[in-house]
Amino acid sequence: MTAAIKPKHQRLVLLGIALVALIGAGLLAAWALRNQAAYFYLPKDIVAEPPAPGRAVRLGGMVETGSLKTAPDGVTIDFIVGDDKARVPVRFRGITPDLFVEGSGVVAEGRMQGGTFVADNLLAKHDENYVPREMAEMTAAQAKATVAETR
């Protein structure tokens, strides 16, 4: 005679198997994504403790005035991202965002390579006083009227 497992015990075994499978899937996903996460660094962080070469990171700071140089190919730019404590040279090849100018904030996505941050993507930041170019020369009353018309 074979002993059958009671339904109550079957549910507990299935629950245990499902729990182990769920934990295993979570660990597998975390292991697979460990190198895909792009950590955010400020210039002082990159200078103090540089990330491993080739590791994808984000560098955020201000584009230093007078540091923007365009290479002869017309597509590659070099500039310095700084904060109040450190400066990091950055190289980017591609089309820059419209808001990217000297003295503005930037977040560069890329990796460190021989002391230079090689950016794959640039995200320009603006401050809370941002005004679209179309509205820059309008008076406050004209801007308010234009906004009211768009609602």
Token pair in block for residue 130:
């941002």
Q: Which CATH number fits domain 39-125: 3.30.70.20, 3.30.390.50, 3.90.550.10, 2.40.50.140?
A: 2.40.50.140
CA 29 – CA 15 distance, rounded (Å): 21
Dihedral (CA of 101, 103, 105, 106) sign: positive
Q: Mean pLDDT for the chain?
A: 85
User: Each residue's pLDDT tens digit in the chain (151 positions)?
Assistant: 456 788 888 999 999 999 999 999 999 888 877 666 668 889 998 999 888 888 889 999 999 999 999 999 989 999 999 988 899 999 999 988 888 888 888 999 999 988 899 999 998 876 556 566 666 677 778 777 777 776 6
Per-residue tokens: 86: 């450190």
